[in-house]
Amino acid sequence: HKLPIRFTSPRFSLPSFSIRAMTSHSHIVGYPRIGPKRELKFALESFWEGKSKAEDLKQVGADIRTSIWKQMAEVGIKFIPSNTFSYYDHVLDTTAMLGAVPPRYGWNGGEVGFDIYFSMARGNDSVPAMEMTKWFDTNYHYIVPELGPDIKFSYASHKAVEEYKEAKALGIDTVPVLIGPLSYILLSKAAKDVDKSFSLLSLIEKIVPVYKEVVAELKAAGATWIQFDEPSLVMDLDTLQLQTFTKAYSELESSFSGLNVLIETYFADVPIQTYKALTSLKSVAGFGFDLVRGTRTLNLLKSGFPPDKYLFAGVVDGRNVWANDLAASLCILQVLEGIVGKENVVVSTSCSLLHSAVDLVNETKLDKEIKSWLAFAAQKVVEVNALAKALVGQKDQAFFASNATSHASRRSSPRVKNESVQKAVAALKDSDHRRATSVSARLAAQQKKLNLPILPTTTIGSFPQTPELRKLRHVYKAKKINEYDYVNAMKEEIKKIIKLQEEIGIDVLVHGEPERNDMVEYFGEQLSGFAFSVNGWVQSYGSRCVKPPIIYGDVSRLRAMTVFTSSTAQSMTRRPMKGMLTGPVTILNWSFLRNDQERHETCYQIALAIKDEVEDLERAGISIIQIDEAALREGLPLRKSEQPFYLEWAVQSFRITNCGVKDTTQIHTHMCYSNFNDIINAIINMDADVITIENSRSDEKLLSVFQEGVKYEAGIGPGVYDIHSPRVPSTEEIADRINKMLAVLDCKVLWVNPDCGLKTRKYSEVESALRNMVAAAKLIRTKL
Ligand code: GLN
Ligand code: ZN
């Protein structure tokens, strides 16, 4: 199945590398790799299930790459990226390139193939996967390199060169993209059991020679530009890190002759010291900056920019789906021309388009007016090109005019503004929104009512999403069955899930979330101010994609959203049933945000809607309510100076949702995939009664915070097994983990639960794993 290749722009211009003046300079940092209809996802999953061969998967990959390159060439983009495609993750690709395969995967040298590659990504029958964590402040997850002092780097994946040649064979000269050595090291962690004195930074010297080999081979293949992504440069780097950066590039320099090198940064502006170090690199031809999130980038550039270097100006937002305000961008670009010289400005995206949706063309169901306000990756490519053309006097007047019209319609649309919501948010300012009683007193009151055993067992919410369930929701949405039949089928499913939990012996039950396609979409669909795409998928990790709702207007709750389901579920069991909600910060962080309003304003609006739901659930007799804040940490600004403000409004938003409930109502929250140690105070400040938290894939890092004596009085359930792997953990293994937790946590606060929801697993795996989990909890109870 070949991907359709579209002609997005009526004018056909071949990319030219030779003439500097009068040709437009346009550049794309990176592009989504899943395909416009998630072709890569389906190819990967079919390969993993043994339903297709490696060749089939490779063919789908090649088709996706070809289609992207041709599309950009046809639009007229001058600097087209290659090696931004990946079968799983670009950091893992770099690990493969550097031959940094952890010993446990039994790699014997040679080119890293699919077997080793996917074992690192997903684990296999005998070895667990490598750790996965968030890519900066996005919802993309990368595989964390594990490096030790004895590691021997070697050039073990020639993917960058192969992709460059592949594009070249199509007649397209691309810019190969590599993760730069500093960012690679800073994104890594020290391997297990490595001496504490070991410094990851010291490995730079060892990886630079491999980078040199890669650069040399790219040059030999004909590459004239190479892009090094160094997003870590936007972080607060210390002196040693910065020195290491300068040293690495001065060592790499010798391989740069005859080549143009671009160092690309994104997700924020770079701190001033870093900016100075970066822009004083003599052998580099261009520097890329984020002008959307990097609010101070313009000032940095005004403070000085080296003559005769290219400025890759990221003015088209790679993290959003809104049409660029072309007139505004053009003004900024003209200011930039004034600073760095007319010929040195290259129009670019703020970061890789990986974080946007793929192509608006496939959105057939979106409201026409809202659609006119949007631009997905394919449209952003066209915007970048239009801006670059306009800069050299070839402004497409019609394109700019229709863009201006859509911006005017968005600014004045009545569907964007809801005055009563704005009033309610303004009125929030007068209180701290905190429950009146202390958490220990509340827990005592709750225990009286709930009478739970010590080490209570629970799950995070979702149960397996079977093909039958998906089909059921699908036919209901397509109005092929009526509401009555749908509700009955859902009730049957919930009954089954409850029976299973009772039979396994779980203490606090969930209804399993069978009615939810996605924890954010489900709520967004019932709130006003949200729009939904059909194919607006964004890669989260590997083959997993999310389809973030688009928040376009003020948010309000139209009616109760979960009360019927939760109370129906509660009526089927005597055990406590958790009401299950997604928290405001997570709804916010997992949606495409408005860019016409501060994000905390939007968050407060969502908090008020969820608050109404929490109070309705309580009134309906639900005594445990879980408000998931899976993505709380995700929204944390990258720079320390901006973090306190975020944490203040995010934590406050969470408290707004539940500050009005009785002491006897137990509020849970859940968070996944994070390192929380640095924000533990904010987490305590959320004032939840119980928190369940991802843990098993991060080497119990989480627990160290309690060793350090943080005063934590609420209930806590660090996940006892990894739900992202099909592996079933044994009772002993789980018991072992619980014991480790008991070494640092009081048994009275400890809960026993998996890492996260079970929706991606199969029933066979879930049943055995939960049985072992309950057995482990029971075993330890007898010993306490
Ligand atoms: N309640 C959700 C579930 O179990 C939580 C998912 C999540 O944390 N990502 O699916
Ligand atoms: Zn989770």
Closest ligand 1 atom, residue 580 Cα = 1
Question: What's the CA angle centered on 549, arms 543 and 552, to 5 degrees?
Answer: 150
- Which of 575, 572, 570, 566 has its CA nearest to residue 452? 575
462 lines ligand 1 (CB under 6 A): yes
632 lines ligand 1 (CB under 6 A): no
Tell me: the pLDDT tens digits for 682-702?
999 999 999 999 886 655 667
b/e 518-554 (16+ beta carbons within 10 angstroms → b): bbbbbbbebbbbbbbbebbbbbbbbbebbbbbbbbbb
Catalytic machinery residues: 724
694 lines ligand 1 (CB under 6 A): no
Confidence band, pLDDT 50/70/90 cuts, at residue 712:
confident
Closest ligand 1 atom, residue 460 Cα = 4
Residue 649 has pLDDT above 80, yes or no: yes
* Largest separation between any pair of C-alpha atoms in the chain: 79
The answer to whether 137 touches 637, Cβ cutoff 8 Å, is: yes
For 193-200, what is the mean pLDDT? 92
For residue 700, the model assigns a pLDDT of 63
For residue 18, the model assigns a pLDDT of 42
How far, in Å, from the CA of 629 to the mean position of ligand 1?
A: 9
| Residue 176 main-chain phi, psi, to 5 deg | -65, 135
Q: Given the structure tokens 């939840």, which residue do they identify?
A: 688
Tell me: the pLDDT tens digits for 508-520?
999 999 999 899 9
Residue 674 has pLDDT above 60, yes or no: no
- Which of 266, 242, 261, 299 has its CA nearest to residue 176? 261
Q: Which ligand is the nearest neighbour of the Cα of 462?
A: 1
- Which of 449, 757, 427 has its CA nearest to residue 611? 427
92 lines ligand 1 (CB under 6 A): no
For 292-316, what is the mean pLDDT? 96
Q: Distance between CA 697 and CA 720 in Å, rounded?
A: 10
Q: Which two tokens stand for residue 223?
A: 């590459």
Tell me: the pLDDT tens digits for 551-573?
999 999 999 999 999 999 999 99
Of the chain, the percentage scoring pLDDT greater than 70 comes to 96
Q: Distance between CA 445 and CA 571 in Å, rounded?
A: 23
For 83-92, what is the mean pLDDT? 98
- CA-nearest residue for atom 3, ligand 1, is 757
For residue 268, the model assigns a pLDDT of 97
The answer to whether 538 touches 548, Cβ cutoff 8 Å, is: yes
Residue 55 contacts by C-beta under 8 Å, 6 or more apart in sequence? none
Task: Give one DSSP letter per residue of 81-140, joined into a string.
Answer: EES---SS-HHHHHHHHTT---GGG---SSS--HHHHHHHHH--SSSPPPPEEE-TTSS-
- Pair type for strands 538-541 and 544-546: antiparallel
Question: What's the CA angle centered on 63, arms 60 and 69, to 5 degrees?
Answer: 140
627 lines ligand 1 (CB under 6 A): no
Tell me: the pLDDT tens digits for 720-766?
999 988 899 999 999 999 999 999 889 999 999 999 999 999 999 99
Query: From the centroid of its chain, how far is CA 141?
Result: 6
The answer to whether 536 touches 548, Cβ cutoff 8 Å, is: yes
Q: Given the structure tokens 């968070």, which residue do they identify?
A: 671
For 330-350, what is the mean pLDDT? 97
3-class secondary structure, 717: strand
Out of 577, 756, 759, give the residue to mutate to test ligand 1, the one with the largest number of ligand atoms within 8 Å of its CB. Answer: 756
Enumerate the β-bridge partners of residue 592: 550
Q: Distance between CA 592 and CA 241 in Å, rounded?
A: 33
- Pair type for strands 578-582 and 624-628: parallel
For 485-494, what is the mean pLDDT? 98
CA dihedral over 62, 68, 71, 72, signed as positive or negative: negative
Tell me: the pLDDT tens digits for 757-771?
999 999 999 999 999
| Residue 51 main-chain phi, psi, to 5 deg | -85, -15
Confidence band, pLDDT 50/70/90 cuts, at residue 709:
confident
For 133-158, what is the mean pLDDT? 95
Note residues around ion ligand 2 (Cβ under 5 angstroms): 630, 672, 756
> Does an H or E element contain 359, and which?
none
Q: Given the structure tokens 């014991």, which residue do they identify?
A: 739
Residue 21 has pLDDT above 50, yes or no: no
CB atoms within 10 A of CB 494: 24
- Pair type for strands 146-147 and 189-190: parallel
The answer to whether 534 touches 36, Cβ cutoff 8 Å, is: no
Confidence band, pLDDT 50/70/90 cuts, at residue 708:
confident
Q: Distance between CA 776 and CA 225 in Å, rounded?
A: 57
Q: Given the structure tokens 């991802």, which residue do they identify?
A: 694
For 401-421, what is the mean pLDDT? 96
- CA-nearest residue for atom 8, ligand 1, is 630
For residue 587, the model assigns a pLDDT of 97
Task: Give one DSSP letter per residue of 399-451, joined into a string.
Answer: HHHHHHHHHHHHHH-TTT--HHHHHHHHHGGG-----SS-HHHHHHHHHHHH-
Residue 109 contacts by C-beta under 8 Å, 6 or more apart in sequence? 99, 154, 156
Q: Distance between CA 126 and CA 94 in Å, rounded?
A: 24
* Residue 50 CB-density burial (10 A; 0-12 exposed, 13-18 middle, 19+ buried): exposed
Q: Distance between CA 206 and CA 152 in Å, rounded?
A: 8
Confidence band, pLDDT 50/70/90 cuts, at residue 615:
very high
How far, in Å, from the CA of 443 to the mean position of ligand 1?
A: 23
For 323-343, what is the mean pLDDT? 97
Q: Distance between CA 404 and CA 306 in Å, rounded?
A: 34
CA dihedral over 716, 460, 509, 655, signed as positive or negative: positive
For 613-630, what is the mean pLDDT? 97
For residue 698, the model assigns a pLDDT of 58
506 Rama sector, left if φ>0, alpha if ψ -120 to 50, beta otherwise: beta
201: DSSP letter: G
Q: Distance between CA 329 and CA 340 in Å, rounded?
A: 16
- Which of 241, 185, 235, 176 has its CA nearest to residue 208? 185
How far, in Å, from the CA of 713 to the mean position of ligand 1?
A: 24
Residue 10 has pLDDT above 70, yes or no: no
Closest ligand 1 atom, residue 671 Cα = 8
Residue 9 has pLDDT above 90, yes or no: no
Residue 136 has pLDDT above 50, yes or no: yes
The answer to whether 287 touches 311, Cβ cutoff 8 Å, is: yes
750: DSSP letter: B
CA dihedral over 387, 388, 393, 396, signed as positive or negative: negative
- Which of 506, 457, 454, 458 has its CA nearest to residue 781? 454
546 lines ligand 1 (CB under 6 A): no
| Residue 530 main-chain phi, psi, to 5 deg | -110, 140
How far, in Å, from the CA of 147 to the mean position of ligand 2?
A: 27
Q: Which ligand is the nearest neighbour of the Cα of 511?
A: 1
Out of 670, 697, 766, give the residue to mutate to test ligand 1, the one with the largest number of ligand atoms within 8 Å of its CB. Answer: 670
b/e 754-779 (16+ beta carbons within 10 angstroms → b): bbbbbbebeeebbbebbbbbbbbbbe
Q: Which ligand is the nearest neighbour of the Cα of 460?
A: 1
Dihedral of the alpha carbons of 134, 139, 141, 144, in degrees to the nearest 10: -10
- CA-nearest residue for atom 5, ligand 1, is 757
Dihedral of the alpha carbons of 353, 213, 40, 189, in degrees to the nearest 10: -80
- Which of 170, 177, 219, 212 has its CA nearest to residue 67? 170
How far, in Å, from the CA of 725 to the mean position of ligand 2?
A: 14
- Which of 530, 433, 449, 386 has its CA nearest to residue 75? 386
Q: Taking all residues of the chain, what is their mean pLDDT, rounded to a whole number?
A: 94
Residue 397 contacts by C-beta under 8 Å, 6 or more apart in sequence? none
CA dihedral over 446, 452, 454, 455, signed as positive or negative: negative
- Pair type for strands 624-628 and 666-671: parallel
Q: Given the structure tokens 């579920």, which residue do they identify?
A: 569
Q: Distance between CA 577 and CA 599 in Å, rounded?
A: 33
The answer to whether 221 touches 164, Cβ cutoff 8 Å, is: yes
| Residue 643 main-chain phi, psi, to 5 deg | -75, -45
Residue 19 has pLDDT above 50, yes or no: no
461 lines ligand 1 (CB under 6 A): yes
- CA-nearest residue for atom 1, ligand 1, is 461
Q: Which ligand is the nearest neighbour of the Cα of 461?
A: 1
The answer to whether 136 touches 638, Cβ cutoff 8 Å, is: yes
Closest ligand 1 atom, residue 582 Cα = 1
Q: Which two tokens stand for residue 740?
A: 């480790």
How far, in Å, from the CA of 672 to the mean position of ligand 2?
A: 4
* Residue 59 CB-density burial (10 A; 0-12 exposed, 13-18 middle, 19+ buried): middle
Q: Distance between CA 269 and CA 317 in Å, rounded?
A: 14
Closest ligand 1 atom, residue 461 Cα = 4
For residue 643, the model assigns a pLDDT of 96
628 lines ligand 1 (CB under 6 A): yes
How far, in Å, from the CA of 518 to the mean position of ligand 2?
A: 12
